[in-house]
Amino acid sequence: MNFKGIKIDCHYSDGEIYIELIALPSEGDEISFSVVIVKHGEALTSLLNNDFEVLIEDETIKLNKTIKRLDKLKRRLLRFKNFLSEDNLWRTEEEIRFREEIVSEYNTEYFLMTRDCAEYFKSLCRSSGTEYFKSLIDFAFIGDETLSQYPIPDRLFAFSRAEHDNFDKFFYDNGFYSRLDFDTFRSFYSSPDDFLATFKDRMDINESDLPVHEKALKLLELEHQGRQRTYFFTYGYKLNNINQLMALELTEIYKRNLPIKKCACCNKYFIPQKRSDAIYCDGISPFDTSKSCKEYGARQAWQQTLKTSESAKLYRDIYMSKQMLAKRNPDMADYKKSFEKYKQEAKRWKVDVKLGTKTELAFIAWLKEVKEKKVL
């Protein structure tokens, strides 16, 4: 299959972005081949990391969601609908089977098409300006110790000035100076999105000759009836290439003051979801596939501490032996008491050492005394 480009429909709401990927085959059709909802910044990091699974959804979900959009299938189903009379539509088993056959026939075709679309999208990603965005993000958002003293806006400004000609050319070449299709209140929606009023009641109001504000007031009275609804305000753009998606994402990240990090374990870009000082991502660790980078990293850091810190090693040895005594002798309250007391006092010591009110050496000396059972 040949393509002449892509379109990306991108809608932002409070915590999420709805992204629809549409391939443009040379015949002039549009094929929607992926619809995903991701967190802010996730589309950008997935492109930087070449992790396409984030943007290209699971085959089965994709099929259920977007098969409706296939014009060809729609036309065929419409013909089928006309063929049957209104009264018995979708009712008999025979009809249902017939419908399923049509859908499955198109499923196969659809799978083949979407596979081509996904491959085309990946090839575009590989030839897009990912490296350019990486150099910008590395300088402005990540940086090393020398850069950390400067705020992100200053760094962004400096980068764009130092790279002036390239920066302008890059943005010009990617169509940033042409207007993008903007879309807002049209997709303002509510949850639950079902109606309280009957279809007939709503139609009666809609088709009446009342002025618009009276129609709206009547609909409001009908639908509201004391029920709580949550509204989602969204806005978005129709984009024409992957670089526009990366630039839009970066704009949103900047506007929302979100950090961009590079994982200390897998070295991939990520947006911390909970703690902005996170150093590990939630992805699978490249060193141990049964653990996330976060789990793996925490363990490594702890083992490193054990190796380098005498107090941590002593603390852990005593902890283990007291815990074991308490566990093996559940009838002897003293062991449990001693274990609890140790945990409490050691905690106080750690805080004091951290605050600088007591020294690491004093802590080690205390731990040694505990180990030799002089105290506790």
Contact residues toward Zn ion (CB under 5 A) are 263, 265-266, 281, 283, 293
CA distance 109 to 130: 32
Closest to Zn ion by CB, 247 vs 263, is 263
Q: Tell me how far, at minimum, the Cβ of 128 lies from Zn ion, in Å.
A: 23
Q: Tell me how far, at minimum, the Cβ of 19 lies from Zn ion, in Å.
A: 22
Closest to Zn ion by CB, 265 vs 346, is 265
278 contact partners, CB below 8 Å, separation of at least 6: 261, 272, 294
CA distance 136 to 161: 12
To the nearest 10 degrees (0 to 180), the angle between helices 310-328 and 360-371 is 30
Residue with tokens 């810190």: 309
Closest to Zn ion by CB, 46 vs 244, is 46
Closest to Zn ion by CB, 141 vs 237, is 141
Residue type, 305: T
Question: Measuring CA to CA, how many Å separate 238 from each of 81, 179, 217, 241, 242?
Answer: 33, 10, 33, 10, 11
Cβ atoms of 102 and 80 closer than 8 Å: yes
Q: Tell me how far, at minimum, the Cβ of 333 lies from Zn ion, in Å.
A: 45
Cβ-based neighbour number of residue 277 at 10 Å: 7
Closest to Zn ion by CB, 73 vs 263, is 263
Q: Tell me how far, at minimum, the Cβ of 39 lies from Zn ion, in Å.
A: 16
Closest to Zn ion by CB, 150 vs 287, is 287
Q: Tell me how far, at minimum, the Cβ of 288 lies from Zn ion, in Å.
A: 12
Residue count of the chain, please give it.
376
Q: Tell me how far, at minimum, the Cβ of 137 lies from Zn ion, in Å.
A: 16
